[in-house]
């Protein structure tokens, strides 16, 4: 995802003459082409995320279109107050991009895990929270965020994620994308869980369950129309996210469903536990630790349907 | 009216505002009043009819708790009316105890310390990228220099040679609960900024000619941001408030307001 992100930003730097890329001492080589084209529109801000976010706010307040980029927890939790007061309060068009969604950097330890970012960012007024599922969605999310011109958090995985979309979908921040039709239940895959969500639907199909698959790439604002229809039509709605269950996408849907009189008992949630994870190994191993595996999820869904 | 008379008027006004709104931080407004007076009277190029004028100079009151000092200056420059000013601290008023960017003439939401300098860096950087000639001014408190983000911004401004950025420390030697040099190791402050790559001018922050001289020192071609360390007195020009840190939070009584006005020569 991060390669596509850099490629997209480099391309769009010609479309948006005020686009400025701010990086927190990361991804230098990724942006070589951008630096070559527009040397004064790439800034390595060093390991100083609070300042980087404030600088982005100052740039945006002066008519520029800044994008900040570093590892997810450092670009979100570390500088949360700058995001809240400098960016969100004045509603400035700053795009905050974190690489390393969820357990992408599992082996680097809890310092680099990002299981709380959606929860924290979505509570901030004016903020939009977008979790692209594959490189194609990354390109579309960055493009749409620049069009929207509002505070936007884009949560990337790392690199080498599988491409889920066979063709380029219609993408709009705030609108989910139907990947696969299904009549019995709906599976809502968030960000880097979408590829596995499709596989789970296939597994369910072989067990006689017809599952619709939706890429729920935007957590804020939620796609209320889409959610309303699936709550009314499906007997089970399953949310899969590489994020803590506390405060994540499924939590947002629960809050919204409760406030809007929908039957939230239909909701089934898969995400991370309320604990720091130790000795995870790879992302795949880490997902096993928290139960985010195809087999476990498919079994639990089938169990619930029985 | 000269700037000394204007500063006295501003001081009298903020004392009254603190009394009426029952709002704290009066002494902090008094200590930076001369800096703000000189800036708004003699330096800042602004257009109150078009607060977002792209070529305007920018001023960020990073020590947002001194909001009343900013509000009286905004009223003086006609960004807000006298009637607006009178609503300070009231229900429905945009004149809150810390400035909101929703108010014309306010560049950033300040009140949480350590935010103004990074934002100022971004504004100054935008000016460089767009080849605009405005200057960016940021006013901080000495207590504010406890915040790590101030020093992150200092490193950034020097690295990016933001010569169009000018910051002040309103160095009144106090912070909320004690002497600023005792709470954290603030001194030697000027040396710290110099070692961070800034041009540093140390002046009497109540001497208007020193302020003007320091602000007007050539900055173009210097390749460095400017830091003006303004030595000030908290509660300046009101004898019973000067250097008494109780006035960080205390609210003046009606009698104290009258006494302060007399001392300031505002009848």
For chain A, positions 222-261, list CB contacts with chain B under 8 A: none
DSSP string, A148-172: HTS-EEEEE--S-PPP--SSPPP-B
Structure confidence at residue B267 (pLDDT): 81
Dump pLDDT digits (tens) for B198-208.
Answer: 999 999 999 99
CATH architecture, domain B3-264: 3-Layer(aba) Sandwich (3.40)
CB A95 within 8 A of CB A68: yes
Angle made by CA atoms B73, B78, B82, in degrees to the nearest 5: 80
Contacts of A210 (CB under 8 A, 6+ apart): A182, A183, A184, A185, A204
Residue A127: pLDDT band by 50, 70, 90 thresholds?
Answer: very high
Chain B interface test: which of A19, A21, A25, A51 (most B C-beta within 10 Å): A51
Among A180, A240, A232, A189, smallest CA distance to A209 is for: A180
Q: Is A168 domain-assigned?
A: no
CB A237 within 8 A of CB A228: no
- Is residue A106 domain-shared with residue A195, that is, in the same domain? no
Mean pLDDT over residues A250-278, rounded?
A: 98
| Residue that is last in its domain, among A92, A122, A156 | A156
- Is residue A108 domain-shared with residue A8, that is, in the same domain? yes
Distance, CA of B157 to CA of A233 (rounded, Å): 56
Tell whether the model's pLDDT for residue A279 goes beyond 90.
no
Q: A58 contacts in B (CB within 8 Å)?
A: 108, 118-126
CB B29 within 8 A of CB B14: yes
Q: A17 contacts in B (CB within 8 Å)?
A: none
Q: Which CATH number goes with the domain that contains A116?
A: 3.40.50.970
Dump pLDDT digits (tens) for A94-118.
Answer: 999 999 999 999 999 999 999 999 9
Distance, CA of B167 to CA of B160 (rounded, Å): 15
Find where tokens 């509660």 sit. B235
HSE-up of B153 (CA within 13 Å, CB side)? 37
Q: Verify whether the Cβ–Cβ distance A54 to B117 is below 8 Å.
A: yes
Alpha helices in chain A (DSSP H): 2-15, 32-37, 49-61, 72-76, 80-82, 117-122, 135-148, 194-206, 224-233, 249-259, 283-290, 294-305
Mean pLDDT over residues A10-28, rounded?
A: 96
Q: Is A164 domain-assigned?
A: no
Q: Which residues pair with B138 in a beta bridge?
A: B60, B167
Q: A51 and chain B: CB distance < 8 Å anywhere?
A: yes
HSE-up of A76 (CA within 13 Å, CB side)? 30
Say what the ipTM of the complex is. Answer: 0.97
HSE-up of B92 (CA within 13 Å, CB side)? 3
Give B266→chain A minimum CA distance, Å. Answer: 37
Q: Structure tokens of A227?
A: 């959610």
The pTM assigned to this predicted structure is: 0.97
Residue-range domain boundaries for chain B: 3-264
Dump pLDDT digits (tens) for A219-242.
Answer: 999 999 999 999 999 999 999 999
- Is residue A145 domain-shared with residue A192, that is, in the same domain? no
Q: Which CATH number goes with the domain that contains A278?
A: 3.40.50.920
- Is residue A141 domain-shared with residue A205, that is, in the same domain? no
- Please state whether beta strands B174-175 and B178-179 pair in parallel, antiparallel, or not at all (unpaired): antiparallel
Q: Is A165 domain-assigned?
A: no
Q: Is A133 domain-assigned?
A: yes
DSSP string, A34-45: HHHH-GGGEEE-
- Is residue A6 domain-shared with residue A150, that is, in the same domain? yes
- DSSP three-state, residue A66: strand
Structure confidence at residue B1 (pLDDT): 86
- Is residue A146 domain-shared with residue A190, that is, in the same domain? no
- Is residue A221 domain-shared with residue A77, that is, in the same domain? no
Structure confidence at residue A122 (pLDDT): 98
Dump pLDDT digits (tens) for B133-158.
Answer: 999 999 999 999 999 999 999 999 99
Q: Structure tokens of B171?
A: 């160095």
Q: A64 and chain B: CB distance < 8 Å anywhere?
A: yes
Q: A45 contacts in B (CB within 8 Å)?
A: 156
Residue A51: pLDDT band by 50, 70, 90 thresholds?
Answer: very high
Within chain B, which residues score under 50 in pLDDT? none
Among A149, A125, A148, smallest CA distance to A220 is for: A125
Q: B130 contacts in A (CB within 8 Å)?
A: 62-64
- Is residue A236 domain-shared with residue A148, that is, in the same domain? no
Q: Is A15 domain-assigned?
A: yes
Tell whether the model's pLDDT for residue A28 goes beyond 80.
no
Q: How many domains does chain A have?
A: 2
| Residue that is last in its domain, among A126, A156, A186 | A156
Range of the domain at A135: 2-156
């Amino acid at each position: 995802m991060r390669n596509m992100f850099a490629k997209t930003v480099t391309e769009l730097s010609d479309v948006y003459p005020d686009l400025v890329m701010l990086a927190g001492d990361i991804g230098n080589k990724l942006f070589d082409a951008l630096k070559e084209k527009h040397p004064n529109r790439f800034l390595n801000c060093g390991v100083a995320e609070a300042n980087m976010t404030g600088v982005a706010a100052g740039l945006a307040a002066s008519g520029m279109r800044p994008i900040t980029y570093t590892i997810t927890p450092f670009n979100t939790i570390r500088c949360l107050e700058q995001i809240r007061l400098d960016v969100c309060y004045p509603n400035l068009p700053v795009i905050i991009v974190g690489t390393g969604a969820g357990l992408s950097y599992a082996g680097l330890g809890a310092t680099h895990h990002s299981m709380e970012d959606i929860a924290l960012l979505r509570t901030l007024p004016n903020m939009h929270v977008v979790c692209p599922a594959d490189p194609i969605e990354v390109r579309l999310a960055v493009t749409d965020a620049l069009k929207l011109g509002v505070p936007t958090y884009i949560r990337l995985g790392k690199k080498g994620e599988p491409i889920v979309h066979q063709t380029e979908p219609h993408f709009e921040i705030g609108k989910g994308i139907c990947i696969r039709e299904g009549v019995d239940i709906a599976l809502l895959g968030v960000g880097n869980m979408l590829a596995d969500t499709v596989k789970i639907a296939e597994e369910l199909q072989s067990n006689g369950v017809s599952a619709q698959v939706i890429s729920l790439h935007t957590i804020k604002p939620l796609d209320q129309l889409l959610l309303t229809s699936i709550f009314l039509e499906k007997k089970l709605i399953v949310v899969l996210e590489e994020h803590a269950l506390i405060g994540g996408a499924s939590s947002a849907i629960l809050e919204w469903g409760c406030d809007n009189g929908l039957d939230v008992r239909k909701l089934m949630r898969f995400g991370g536990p309320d604990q720091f994870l130790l000795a995870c190994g790879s992302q795949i191993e880490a997902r096993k630790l928290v139960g985010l595996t195809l087999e476990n999820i498919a079994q639990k869904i089938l169990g619930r349907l029985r | 009216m000269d700037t000394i008379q204007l500063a006295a008027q501003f001081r009298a006004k903020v004392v009254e505002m603190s009394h009426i709104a029952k709002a704290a931080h009066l002494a902090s407004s008094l200590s930076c009043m001369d800096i703000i007076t000189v800036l708004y009277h003699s330096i800042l190029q602004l257009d109150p009819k078009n607060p977002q004028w792209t070529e305007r100079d920018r001023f960020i009151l990073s020590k947002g708790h001194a909001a009343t000092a900013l509000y009286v200056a905004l009223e003086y420059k006609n960004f807000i009316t006298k009637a607006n000013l009178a609503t300070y601290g009231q229900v429905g008023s945009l004149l809150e105890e810390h400035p909101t960017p929703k108010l014309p003439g306010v560049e950033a939401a300040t009140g949480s310390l350590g935010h103004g300098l990074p934002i100022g860096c971004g504004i100054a950087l935008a000016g460089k990228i767009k080849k605009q000639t405005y200057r960016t001014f940021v006013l901080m408190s000495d207590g504010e220099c406890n915040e790590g983000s101030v020093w992150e911004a200092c490193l950034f401004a020097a690295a990016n040679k933001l010569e169009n950025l000018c910051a002040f420390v309103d160095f009144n030697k106090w912070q909320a609960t004690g002497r600023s040099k005792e709470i954290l190791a603030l001194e030697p402050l000027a040396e710290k900024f110099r070692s961070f790559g800034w041009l540093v001018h140390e002046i009497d922050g109540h001497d208007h000619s020193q302020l003007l001289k320091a602000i007007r020192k050539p900055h173009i071609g210097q390749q460095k941001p400017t830091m003006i360390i303004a030595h000030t007195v908290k509660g300046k020009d009101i004898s019973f408030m000067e250097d008494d840190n109780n006035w960080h939070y205390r609210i003046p009584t009606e009698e104290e307001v009258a006494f302060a006005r007399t001392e300031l020569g505002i009848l």
